Structure 1
Amino acid sequence: MSATTDSPCLGHGSCPQVSEMLQVTYGGWQNVNMTRYFREYADLCFEVFGDRVKHWLTFSDPRTMVEKGYETGLHAPGLRLQGTGLYMAAHHIIKAHAQVWHSYNNTWRSKQQGMVGISLNCDWGEPVDINNPNDIEAAERYLQFCLGWFANPIYAGDYPQVMKDHIGTKSAEQGLEMSRLPMFSLQEKSYIKGTSDFLGLGHFTTRYITQRTYPSHQGPSYQNDRALVEFVDPNWPDMGSSWLYSVPWGFRRLLNFVQTQYGDPLIYVTENGASQKLHCTQLCDEWRIQYLKGYINEMLKAIKDGVNIKGYTSWSLLDKFEWEKGYADRYGFYYVEFNVRNKPRYPKASVQYYKEIITANGFPNPREVESWHLKALETCSINNQMLATEPLLRHMHVASEIVVPTVCVLSILISALLLTLLLRSHG
């Protein structure tokens, strides 16, 4: 499970030994019994931490978890059950989420007065040609296969119709008697619907979407089921990671889509940020400042549109472990020197800028905002000097740890030798 600032995440990176046991012994999320095990785990978390934690996320970005864990094999458990495994895993994750919500609602809510939601990550899909019905349908399909896959059962009781139609048709074409997308029973639909006190939303970038016009020769797969093609505008600012471009206007459109699609839910933006640009000074992250300014401003516009946004969390406070990228992708406001034993941290320019946004709760006027920018870049140069001297200080520290004790020991030995010679001469 997971949480906001005052809450932990239950389903995003628990103990690896336990995860391995559940996968090897029980088959992981391919096994429906995982829903019960997960609910028992959540109950333990509620019992131990519920007096302090008031905002709970059952899962964080489950779409990536099932696609890369059960479709492409890039993430644990590394399975490639193409076109089947990810849908079954997602099916059981949705059921597990509902069980946890009901457990909290029935047992813990009256005593702890907390909230339970789920965090879903999705980019915005914009039709390549807004006058082309096929592109409009493809963009809608993109969003439903991304966000609606998990949100629709929770808010409407079932998978999006476009998912059921496309996967069902593809399954029939592949000679299968039943759709590869599992079905919820009427009882399950009723049980799952409404199991969210808020929606956590992660968002990073945008894609142009068009209908795929050529036939796919690959077998069953998530990508084949969507039957669309993604594009990026080469003029969009590149944020460093191969998939990440700065397209602020897509954020506002996604937030408005969520409001109208799911009945004006309470929204917490749980992830939004930019990674380290290559060949740039580590601490003077001007590109991140521009990204923050654009995306937060579009979120504020969405609030004026009437979207019920309660909070915003930038990704992330520190450079940290990022999926299969490890420590290579740096999203943090604070640079972490991972090669040093005590992992020293250095504030980037974006720290100063983000502090000003928080203090002002937005952007007061262009002149003042520009002064934030200049001040942030000035302070980062000082921090860069500190970072540059770190290797020298580290070598000096290592040298002192070795040289000083060695000199002391030699001094003692020489003194002892001289004392011995002196005593012998007197004798």
Structure 2
Amino acid sequence: MCSRAVVIVLALTRALEVACLKNFPPGFRFGAASAAYQIEGGWNVSDKGESIWDHIVHTRPGFVADLSTGDEACDSYHLWEEDLKILEELGVDFYRFSISWPRLLPNGFSNHISEDGCRYYSALIDGLLARGIAPVVTLYHWDLPQNLQNLGGWTNPLVVEWFADYARVAFFLFADRVNTWITINEPCFVCDGAYRDIIAPGLKDHEIGALLCTKHVLLAHAVAYRIYDEEYKPIYGGEVSITNQEFWLEPKTEADLELTLLAREYAFSRYTYPIFSAEGGWPPTLKAYMARKSEQEGYPRSRLPALTPEEIQMIKGSFDFFALNHYTSRTVRALKPGEQPGHYMFESVEEVGAVLESKEQWASDGSEWLKVNPEGLRHNLNLTRQLYGDVRILITENGCSSADTLNDTGRVSYIRDYLEQVLLSIEDGIKVIGYTAWSLMDNFEWRDGYQTRFGLHAVDFTDPRRTRTAKASAKYYRNVMRSRSLHVDHKIEL
């Protein structure tokens, strides 16, 4: 009887909390997102150069689960007006898309700017603005020019200059119409994923390569930020940041608390602390850990590359807002003796001996790795404020894969429940300024090819016209944006 009373009280408390949710505050923005390689197709149209994804899908066809490529994808290169149509019908405030580095600069260098690439992105930007939709442009979403990869890619320190030159060209061409910029999407995958053979270029060198990449990605971002801040912000007043992917991590038991903090520093804070903290530089606990471990391994210096005082100052403060991608949560425990670590970031943080697991009540819909735990987003948002102060936060990706059907009720529930946590976070005093649904439409989902569907809109990949059709989730999201409030079915099951 006592147990039943507790359940009733908890249920009523929860219902009251949800019922008291206010509308989204004035100025809160809603958007949808995509990425160039995942939707554009047109991989060898005109003078476009080869990207690392073009290269790997053509030279290692087994790299992708269904043996597919992004050669055509959603064919947004030709069908960009169809994209504008569904964006307008959806009613978003902004559209986050990425520029393909090798489409704009075919050989990766700024000595040759593609007129075709410039014309394509310019038409897309103008089309968005004509419909009252703000463009949010990502400079790098995992499609490095292959000839720069041949020169060492993100492990070559000169990549900082190459990226800065690319950013300067993009700013020069589009900054008069684009006021929100993301330099690099999810550096944890750009470095750790790429050097664990998870994404292109598919290399295996997490001990050295991934850490060199980390330093150069941070510097490349910072230099690009400084270019905009000094040369373009005084004229156009726009904003620049870097987008970081962060799972919510929590200890499996009280004994796993310190390990959880270290795992978070290695997997995520390695890319945020140098930029957003007041002190700058590497996270102190991680820096000390890597120095000790490297010495034990016989290295003459830490595998975590040193940052000079000048580099620390260059990176520190190179942001106008905090851009967060969030999908899922994990619990953390120590790796057992003799146990083999699993898939990086989904099953382990191997470097620090941490195993990542999920709770039984965290279900999945279309992707086994994407465990649904809406409260994890609220925890992450509160942790961001705790670590980095009262920073403005733009959620630049959130979403889930679902069954290949127009009646995607699982995604509707996911969006509803995660947006509920956004509202609760705003009531916590967190300055969440916007939310971006991933993704606008089904697309080439990296290693999964076309087997995994994250889209608000279905795409018929058997049709040369790549017909886009709104799913139930698109209609639900459209209603949320129109009302600027969250309609939740308050059912209490006792």
| TM range, smaller chain | 0.7 to 0.9
Q: Which moved more, 1:156-165 or 1:335-344?
A: 156-165
| Greater fraction of residues in helix | 1
State the one-letter code of the partner of 1:262: Y
Partner of 1:290: 413
SS at structure 1 position matched to 2:184: strand
SS at structure 2 position matched to 1:207: strand
Structure 1: 5+ residue runs without aligned partners? 371-427
- Residue by residue over 1:271-304, the C-alpha shift from the partner in whole angstroms, topping out at 9 and shown as x without a partner, is 1001023xxx611111111111111101110111
- Per the TM alignment, residue 114 of structure 1 is displaced from its structure 2 partner at its CA by 0.6
Kindly indicate whether the alpha-carbon contact (under 8 Å) linking 1:166 and 1:225 is maintained by their aligned counterparts in 2.
no
Change in CA separation of 1:13 and 1:215 when aligned onto 2, cut-off 3 Å: closer
Partner of 2:376: 250
Partner of 2:138: 9
Q: Does 1:32 pair with 2:157?
A: yes
Kindly indicate whether the alpha-carbon contact (under 8 Å) linking 1:117 and 1:196 is maintained by their aligned counterparts in 2.
yes
Greater length-normalized contact order (CA 8 Å, ≥ 6 residues apart):
2
Pick from 217, 242, 245 the counterpart of residue 93 of structure 1.
Answer: 217
Kindly indicate whether the alpha-carbon contact (under 8 Å) linking 1:167 and 1:225 is maintained by their aligned counterparts in 2.
no
Quote the Cα distance in structure 2 between the aligned partners of 1:366 and 1:224. Answer: 41
SS at structure 2 position matched to 1:8: strand
Alignment of 1:225-374 (within 5 A): 225-277=351-403, 282-364=405-487, 366=489
Q: Does 1:84 pair with 2:205?
A: no
Pick from 151, 154, 157 the counterpart of residue 272 of structure 2.
Answer: 151
Kindly indicate whether the alpha-carbon contact (under 8 Å) linking 1:297 and 1:362 is maintained by their aligned counterparts in 2.
no
Q: Does 1:135 pair with 2:135?
A: no
Quote the Cα distance in structure 2 between the aligned partners of 1:310 and 1:137. Answer: 32
Partner of 2:250: 126
State the one-letter code of the partner of 1:6: P
Partner of 1:163: 286
What is the root-mean-square deviation of aligned Cα atoms in Å? Answer: 2.2
State the one-letter code of the partner of 1:164: K
State the one-letter code of the partner of 2:263: Y
State the one-letter code of the partner of 1:9: T
Kindly indicate whether the alpha-carbon contact (under 8 Å) linking 2:142 and 2:190 is maintained by their aligned counterparts in 1.
no
- Per the TM alignment, residue 40 of structure 1 is displaced from its structure 2 partner at its CA by 0.7
Kindly indicate whether the alpha-carbon contact (under 8 Å) linking 1:271 and 1:313 is maintained by their aligned counterparts in 2.
yes
- Per the TM alignment, residue 119 of structure 1 is displaced from its structure 2 partner at its CA by 0.4
State the one-letter code of the partner of 1:12: H
Change in CA separation of 1:193 and 1:234 when aligned onto 2, cut-off 3 Å: same
- Per the TM alignment, residue 351 of structure 1 is displaced from its structure 2 partner at its CA by 1.3
- Per the TM alignment, residue 265 of structure 1 is displaced from its structure 2 partner at its CA by 1.4
Of structures 1 and 2, the larger Rg is shown by: 1
Partner of 1:374: none
Quote the Cα distance in structure 2 between the aligned partners of 1:177 and 1:282. Answer: 56
Percent of aligned pairs with the same amino acid? 31
Kindly indicate whether the alpha-carbon contact (under 8 Å) linking 1:172 and 1:178 is maintained by their aligned counterparts in 2.
yes
Partner of 2:174: 49
Partner of 1:200: 323
Change in CA separation of 1:125 and 1:88 when aligned onto 2, cut-off 3 Å: same
Change in CA separation of 1:276 and 1:217 when aligned onto 2, cut-off 3 Å: closer
Quote the Cα distance in structure 1 between the aligned partners of 2:330 and 2:396. Answer: 20
- Per the TM alignment, residue 217 of structure 1 is displaced from its structure 2 partner at its CA by 8.1
- Residue by residue over 1:69-122, the C-alpha shift from the partner in whole angstroms, topping out at 9 and shown as x without a partner, is 12x123222211131110101110000111011111111111121111010011
- Per the TM alignment, residue 223 of structure 1 is displaced from its structure 2 partner at its CA by 3.5
- Residue by residue over 1:41-61, the C-alpha shift from the partner in whole angstroms, topping out at 9 and shown as x without a partner, is 101000000011000000011
Quote the Cα distance in structure 1 between the aligned partners of 2:481 and 2:416. Answer: 12
- Per the TM alignment, residue 235 of structure 1 is displaced from its structure 2 partner at its CA by 2.5
Partner of 1:108: 232
- Residue by residue over 1:110-158, the C-alpha shift from the partner in whole angstroms, topping out at 9 and shown as x without a partner, is 11211110100111001112xx2x3111222232222211110002311
Kindly indicate whether the alpha-carbon contact (under 8 Å) linking 1:172 and 1:179 is maintained by their aligned counterparts in 2.
yes
State the one-letter code of the partner of 1:88: L
Kindly indicate whether the alpha-carbon contact (under 8 Å) linking 2:249 and 2:331 is maintained by their aligned counterparts in 1.
yes
Kindly indicate whether the alpha-carbon contact (under 8 Å) linking 2:295 and 2:301 is maintained by their aligned counterparts in 1.
yes
- Residue by residue over 1:362-412, the C-alpha shift from the partner in whole angstroms, topping out at 9 and shown as x without a partner, is 225647x99xxxxxxxxxxxxxxxxxxxxxxxxxxxxxxxxxxxxxxxxxx
Partner of 2:113: none
Kindly indicate whether the alpha-carbon contact (under 8 Å) linking 2:192 and 2:206 is maintained by their aligned counterparts in 1.
no
- When the two structures are aligned, how many residues end up with a matched partner? 356
Kindly indicate whether the alpha-carbon contact (under 8 Å) linking 1:121 and 1:201 is maintained by their aligned counterparts in 2.
yes
- Per the TM alignment, residue 230 of structure 1 is displaced from its structure 2 partner at its CA by 1.2
Question: Normalization by structure 1: what TM-score?
Answer: 0.79
State the one-letter code of the partner of 2:472: A
Q: Which moved more, 1:231-240 or 1:357-366?
A: 357-366
State the one-letter code of the partner of 1:27: G
- Per the TM alignment, residue 7 of structure 1 is displaced from its structure 2 partner at its CA by 2.2
Kindly indicate whether the alpha-carbon contact (under 8 Å) linking 1:123 and 1:204 is maintained by their aligned counterparts in 2.
yes
Kindly indicate whether the alpha-carbon contact (under 8 Å) linking 1:320 and 1:327 is maintained by their aligned counterparts in 2.
yes
State the one-letter code of the partner of 2:480: I
- Residue by residue over 1:226-246, the C-alpha shift from the partner in whole angstroms, topping out at 9 and shown as x without a partner, is 221111122222122120111
Quote the Cα distance in structure 2 between the aligned partners of 1:161 and 1:89. Answer: 19
Structure 1 consecutive aligned stretches of length 4 or more whose deviation exceeds 4 Å: 215-218
Kindly indicate whether the alpha-carbon contact (under 8 Å) linking 1:216 and 1:224 is maintained by their aligned counterparts in 2.
no
Pick from 181, 194, 206 the counterpart of residue 69 of structure 1.
Answer: 194
SS at structure 2 position matched to 1:6: strand
